[in-house]
Structure 1
Amino acid sequence: MKQTKYLFNPGRLSRQDNTLKFTPVDEDGNEGQPRFLPVEQVSDLYVFGSLDANSALYNFLGKQNIAVHFFDYYEHYTGSFMPREYLLAGKMQVVQTQHYLSAKKRIIVARAFIEGAASNILRVLKYYQNRQNERRPCDLNDAIRTVELLLASIPTATDVPTLMGIEGNIRQTYYGCFDAILGETFCMDGRSKRPPQNELNAMISFGNMLCYSACLGMIYHTQLNPTISFLHEPGARRYSLALDMAEIFKPILIDRLIFRMVNKRQLQPSDFRMEVGGCVMKDAARKRFVQAFDESLKETIKHRSLGRNVSYKHLIKLECYKLQKHLLGMEEYRPFKAWW
C-alpha cells in the first residue's frame, strides 16, 4: 500500500533504479546514512527541510504520479510539485467551470461546504461540552447556540461574500472556545496568521496546511480540477478547491488532534520558540505533530452508507467523488458531517 512519506531533515533526493534515495546532509555538508524509499510504496512526499533535487528526479516523480508538498522553516505551506493531472476529463472540466461561472449553481456548492464545516465545528463543541467536569468547567452552551443560529442562516445567503461573512462569524465564535477547552496550558489570544503570534496559533496554522495538502492530494486522484473552486476565489497560484474541501475536515482532523495532544501533554509550551518571524514549533514537536496527523489519516471509522470501515484519508476522496456526481447532475452534494 502506498503511503505518505515525510522528510524533515535537509538533504538530497535522487533516483536509484526504481527507488528513491534520500541522503541527509548537515550544515557542514557532511552526508548521513542514506534512506531508501521504494517508489511503489510512496503516494506523496511532505518536505519540511531544504531539499536538493534535479529535474531528472522530478521527471521520475511525475511519471510515478508522486506529488511533493513543501513547507518553509516557519511551517508555512509554500507550494507543491504536482504531476500531470492524469485523470482530468474534458466533460468534468466543462461542468466544473460552468458551476463556478453560474452564481446560482456556485452558491449551492459553497453553502454545502460551509454547512459541512459548521456542522463539524458543532460536533467538536458538543463533544467537549459533554466532557466538562468539576475540575475544569467547560461551558460552551452560548457558543453552541450562536453557531447553531449561524448555521441556520446559511440557506439564506444569496452570494459568496455573505456566506464568507457567516463563516467568519462561526470561526470567531469557535476559536473563542479554544481557551476553555484547553485550560491554561496555551492561550488563543485571537487568531493570528503569517506569522502566528503564539503556540496555539502556530499549531492551528501548521495543522491547517497539513489538512490542505491532504485534500489536494486526494483531489489529484479524481477528475476534479483543483484550481476551480466555489467558496474561495480561484487564485493565480493556488489550488483553491483544496481550500474549500479543507473547511469540512479541519475541525475533525486538525482541531481534535490539537485538543488531544495538548490535553495529553504531548505538546508543551517548551516545544515552541518565539522568533522574528513568529512562533514556531521545535523540530521534535513538529515531528510528533506530523506523526499524530498521519496516524489520524489512517484511522478508520464504520461508514454509514458504505457499511464498511474507511480511513479518514479515504473520506476526503469520497467527498471529492460526491462533488463530482453533483457537478455531473447525478446526485445532490451533501457535505460530510461527523456523527461521533
Structure 2
Amino acid sequence: MKKLLNTVYITTEGAALRKDGENLVAEIDGVERGRVPFHMLGSVVAFGAVLVTPPLIQALAAGGVSIVLLDRIGRFQARIEGPVSGNVLLRRAQYRISDDSEEIVRSIVCGKVANQRVVLQRALRDYGETMPPEATAAIAAAVDRLARILRRAALAGESADVLRGHEGDAARTYFSVFGHLVRAPDEQVRFLGRSRRPPLDPVNALLSFLYTLLVHDCRSALEGVGLDPAVGFLHRERPGRPSLALDLMEEMRPVMADRLALSLLNRRQVRARDFEWRDGGAVMLTEDGRRTVLTAWQERKKEERRHPFLEESAPLGLVPHLQALLLARHLRGDLDGYPPLDLEVSHARARDL
C-alpha cells in the first residue's frame, strides 16, 4: 500500500494554529476552521503572518512533522523540525561524491532537458494546428535544439561545469518559446521571459510559487531517506540553500510545475484577477489565487503516472520520494547510476504502441 503523507497549507494571514489533544486545529478570529490528526500530517506550510503556538511546535517536532514558514508571496523564511535522523554512512557517501559528481549531474541535466522537450512536443501535438505559423516554427526549432543539447549532455567525459552550461542553454531555449504555450484570454497574463526575484509578470509569479511548493516536497523526500538537502551536485553549496533539493527538483519542474501552470492558465482557472501588481514591478498571487493553485497542486499530486525506471504506476506526489530513494540507492552502491525522471522514455514508448 502506498501512502502519501498530507501537507497542510495555511494561506490566511492572521490564522492561528494550536494543539488540541493529538490534533492540529486552525482558527481564524477565534473560530475553528479546520482540524487534522497528527498521524495524518507530513508537514505544515504557513504563508505570511500565521500564529503557531509553542505546544503545537513541540508536538509536531516530536512527531517528525516539519513546519515551513513562507512570506505571503511564497519565499522561504524558516523551517522548524525536530532532530534529524540520517544514515551517517549514506551522508558520508553523499559528501564524498559531491566533489566528483559528473555522472549524477549528467543524469539530472538529461532528465530535465528531456522533460522540457516533452512539454514542448505536447504543446505542438495539442495546439499546433491553432497556433500562428511563426509560433509553431519557433517551438519546433526549440524541440530540435533541445534534442541536440540532450545528445551533447549525454556524452561521457564532460565536466560538471560544462554540463551546467548545457543546462543553462536548454533553459534559455525552453523559456524563449514558453510564452507561445500560454493561451490565457487576459491581456495582462503574458510571459515576458523568465524572471525570479521578483517575478515580473503573472506567469512567472505562478511558476515561482509552484517551484516553491515543489522544492519543499523534494526537501522532505530527501530528509525522509536520510540525505542532506544542503549538499548538492548540480547546484553548488551556499549557506542556507537546499542545493540537493534544488537538484532533485530540476527534472520534475516541467512535469509537475510547468505543465500545471499552463493548465491553470489555459483552462482559465487562474485569471488576471488572481494576481496583484506591486510598486517596483513585482507581481504576486492574491490570497484567492494561492488557494486555487494549492487546491490544483494537491489534486495534481494524486494523478497516477507510470515511472519510466521502476515501470510501476505511482501518484505524482510520490515521485520526489521515489527519486530520493533511487538517489540514495545509487550513493550506497546498489545502483550503477542515478536514473532521472525521464518522461521522454515513456513518451517514446507510448508513441510506438
Relative to the length of structure 1, the TM-score reads 0.91
User: How many residues were matched structurally?
Assistant: 331
Question: 1:287 aligned to 2:282?
Answer: no
Mapped contact 2:46–2:69 kept (Cα < 8 A): yes
Percent identity for Structure 1 against Structure 2:
23
Show the 5 A alignment for 1:37-186.
37-86=36-85, 88-101=86-99, 103=100, 106-137=101-132, 138-139=135-136, 140-154=139-153, 155=155, 158-183=158-183, 185=185, 186=189
Mapped contact 2:236–2:243 kept (Cα < 8 A): yes
Instruction: Give the direction of change, closer, same or farther, for the CA distance of 1:160–1:55 in structure 2 (3 Å limit).
Output: farther
Larger deviation: 162-171 or 52-61?
A: 52-61
* Corresponding letter in the other structure for 1:39: F
Cα distance in structure 2, aligned partners of 1:246 and 1:146? 23
Match of 1:213 among 210, 213, 216: 216
Instruction: Give the direction of change, closer, same or farther, for the CA distance of 1:305–1:151 in structure 2 (3 Å limit).
Output: closer
Cα distance in structure 2, aligned partners of 1:304 and 1:151? 18
SS at match of 2:9: strand
Cα distance in structure 2, aligned partners of 1:80 and 1:48? 12
SS at match of 2:151: helix
Cα distance in structure 2, aligned partners of 1:290 and 1:128? 24
Mapped contact 2:43–2:65 kept (Cα < 8 A): yes
SS at match of 1:221: helix
State the partner residue of 2:351.
none
Instruction: Give the direction of change, closer, same or farther, for the CA distance of 1:246–1:39 in structure 2 (3 Å limit).
Output: same
State the partner residue of 2:226.
223
State the partner residue of 1:190.
193
SS at match of 2:158: coil
State the partner residue of 2:339.
334
Mapped contact 1:219–1:242 kept (Cα < 8 A): yes
Mapped contact 2:184–2:268 kept (Cα < 8 A): no
* Corresponding letter in the other structure for 1:286: R
Cα distance in structure 1, aligned partners of 2:324 and 2:307? 16
Q: CA deviation at 1:242?
A: 0.5
Q: CA deviation at 1:307?
A: 5.2
After the TM superposition, list the runs of 4 or more consecutive aligned residues in structure 1 that deviate by more than 6 angstroms: none
Mapped contact 1:43–1:67 kept (Cα < 8 A): yes
Q: CA deviation at 1:304?
A: 5.1
Cα distance in structure 2, aligned partners of 1:55 and 1:274? 36
Mapped contact 1:14–1:21 kept (Cα < 8 A): yes
Instruction: Give the direction of change, closer, same or farther, for the CA distance of 1:247–1:306 in structure 2 (3 Å limit).
Output: closer
SS at match of 2:252: helix
Q: CA deviation at 1:183?
A: 3.4
Cα offsets for 1:128-150 (capped at 9, x unmatched): 11123443245111000111111
* Corresponding letter in the other structure for 1:212: V
Cα offsets for 1:165-188 (capped at 9, x unmatched): 221111111111222111364322
Unaligned 5+ segments in structure 1 are 26-30
Match of 1:316 among 305, 314, 320: 320
Larger deviation: 211-220 or 47-56?
A: 47-56
Cα offsets for 1:56-80 (capped at 9, x unmatched): 3222111111112222122223332
Cα distance in structure 2, aligned partners of 1:133 and 1:125? 10
RMSD: 1.9
Q: CA deviation at 1:315?
A: 1.7
Match of 1:272 among 263, 271, 275: 275
Larger deviation: 52-61 or 240-249?
A: 52-61
Q: CA deviation at 1:306?
A: 4.6
* Corresponding letter in the other structure for 1:265: R
Cα distance in structure 1, aligned partners of 2:150 and 2:311? 29
Show the 5 A alignment for 1:292-311.
292-303=296-307, 306=310, 308-311=312-315
Cα offsets for 1:6-35 (capped at 9, x unmatched): 11112222212211122224xxxxx33353
Instruction: Give the direction of change, closer, same or farther, for the CA distance of 1:202–1:304 in structure 2 (3 Å limit).
Output: closer
Mapped contact 1:113–1:248 kept (Cα < 8 A): yes
Cα offsets for 1:169-227 (capped at 9, x unmatched): 11111111222111364322121111111101101111111111111111121121212
